[in-house]
Amino acid sequence: MPFHRPIMVLVLLLLAGALLWPRLGGDDSSEVRRSRLLLGTVVEITALGPDRSLLEGAVSDAFAEMERIEKLMSPHIESSDVARLSKAGTSQPVSAETATVLRLGLHLAAQSDGAFDLTLGRLKELWGIEGESPQVPDSDSVADALRGIGPEALRLEAPLVIKSRPELQIDLGGIAKGYAIDRAIFLLADAGIEFASVNAGGDMRLLGDRGGERPWRIGIQHPRDSQRLLTTLEVEDVSVVTSGDYERYFEQEGRRYHHLFDPRTGYPATACRSVTVVAPSAMLADALATALFVLGPEQGMSLLQLYPEAEALIVDSSGKEHQSANFAEYRL
Ligand code: ADP
Ligand code: MG
């Protein structure tokens, strides 16, 4: 009876599956999913596991941690390290954590030849991109906001940060969210959670898989059609961050002006529509996504070579996709 053996195997497999699911993803496994407005976006934390009260506590602690980072690094909170640094004349001590974020940011600023820039605070204010009525500034104001900025404008001699000019305004908007995500994941793991995701407005990091050896599936939005996905990724234990020109923008006289600035021109960078980076830490993925967006596909991919642990998918300004050597392995 050659026919029966495969059926037997199938039944056994189904039974094995039925035994596995309840333990790892089913009846005695709970899911806690909560959202909050933080860091200028909606942050959603999901944690999975058998002990519901452990999940609840850890998710609350992870949110509190992200709020703590926001209070250290938001330019809009007067007591933050960043606001105090912007106000300071030439030098100002910062916390060890702000120094950690500045260290990677300054490193990337140098490696990207200034495409990534932590001193764009005045330019960002000028464009008012996060305010009520953003508008295209006149070219003199743009030139003025760019004066003295660049990779050499800030020096870190921890705990001191030294500004080359008093009027420099610091902006960690391209990297701090990633650090906050990393801290949330650290707290969840430290509390004994095995499976979790932290999603801050599409920038995310996953802890483990979804349980039961199922990877997380992450849909990446198409940069020109919000109803469509560009691609779907299957990942575990990594961070996935996207920078796009469709996230925060305004239109004036039929042109799109978004929030990722090219420090060489003072205008929104034009080489890309979106950049998705997969990397072990969200801080690295966040900063790299912003840097690659400004650099564009050619220079961006050569910067990426310095980070063998990171992979990227770039959609350039014509809609063409460019992906790094191993990015395809994440695609479904
Ligand atoms: P989002 O915060 O929307 O996920 P990004 O991580 O790409 O997007 O960061 C965008 C923010 O990065 C901007 O709002 C601004 O604060 C900051 N930024 C803009 N241009 C640059 C740049 N060239 N280098 C570093 N940071 C930048
Ligand atoms: Mg970023």
Looking from the CA of residue 286, the nearest atom of ligand 1 is 6
- The reply to whether the predicted model has a pTM over 0.85 is yes
**Residues carrying CATH 1.10.3980.10, the chain:** 81-163
- Alpha helical stretches, state H, 194-281: none
Separation CA 276–CA 215 (nearest Å): 18
**Residues carrying CATH 3.10.520.10, the chain:** 215-331
> Would you list which residues are annotated within the binding site for Mg(2+)?
174, 286, 290
Q: How far is the CA of 210 from the centre of ligand 1 (A)?
A: 30
Tens-binned pLDDT, residue by residue, of the chain (332 aa)? 333 444 444 444 444 333 333 344 444 689 999 999 999 999 999 999 999 999 999 999 999 999 999 999 999 999 999 999 999 999 999 999 999 999 999 999 999 999 999 999 999 999 998 888 899 999 999 999 999 999 999 999 999 999 999 999 999 999 999 999 999 999 999 999 999 999 999 999 999 999 889 999 999 999 999 999 999 999 999 999 999 999 889 999 999 899 999 999 999 999 999 999 999 999 999 999 999 999 999 999 999 999 999 999 999 999 999 999 999 999 99
Angle separating helix axes 96-111 and 52-73, nearest 10 degrees: 70
DSSP assignment of 170-192 equals ---TTTHHHHHHHHHHHHHHHTT
Pick the CATH number of 81-163 from 3.30.70.120, 3.40.190.10, 1.20.1440.130, 1.10.3980.10: 1.10.3980.10
Q: How far is the CA of 55 from the centre of ligand 2 (A)?
A: 28
CATH class of 215-331: alpha beta
42: alpha, beta or left? (left if phi > 0; alpha if psi -120 to 50): beta
Mutate to test the pocket of ligand 1, among 169, 290, 295 (most ligand atoms within 8 A of CB): 290
Chain centroid to Cα 211, Å, comes to: 24
Separation CA 247–CA 202 (nearest Å): 10
Q: How far is the CA of 286 from the centre of ligand 2 (A)?
A: 4
